[in-house]
Amino acid sequence: MKLDIKSIPEGGSLDFSDSYDLSDMDFFGEKPIAQPLNFTGTVSRRAGLWTLTGELGTRLHLRCDRCNRRFTRDKTLPVTLSLALSLQDDERDDIAVCPGGICDLGQIAIPEWVLDMEYVNLCAEDCKGLCPQCGADLNSGPCDCQ
């Protein structure tokens, strides 16, 4: 979805809602984003500055890195960025550039989401994992190893 931020009057705002299919995106050999990634929020203009405030969210289908059990988890990510027509300093990652005043929400949402994906996924904080000798799931009870 593309927004024309120049059309937002001073002191005004524009609500948005969009979704993205990331089901083909691979994370460490898994494809955990089976449902659309939803992006909702508002772009406001105050004192000649545009600010995007929103939330990304979906349900992830993951595999526990300790016990190998499949589980699902809802994940949301708040997003707050300044928007600009151009930048003089390319090092600013807290400002999204909207050339000509056209802001491509997908170019904002997808990188924000990917950078926030966890490297380690646990079905529970206290997951006991698998026995290193026999491979039994220690969440189900102790194994028979010595």
Task: Output the pTM of the full model.
Answer: 0.83
- Of 7, 11, 15, nearest to 101 by C-alpha is 7
pLDDT digits (tens, 9 = 90+) for 4-43: 999 999 999 999 999 999 999 998 888 999 999 999 999 9
pLDDT, tens digit (0-9, with 9 covering 90-100), for 78-116: 999 999 888 776 666 678 888 899 999 999 999 999 999
Cβ-based neighbours of 13, under 8 Å, separated by 6 or more: 42, 43, 44, 45
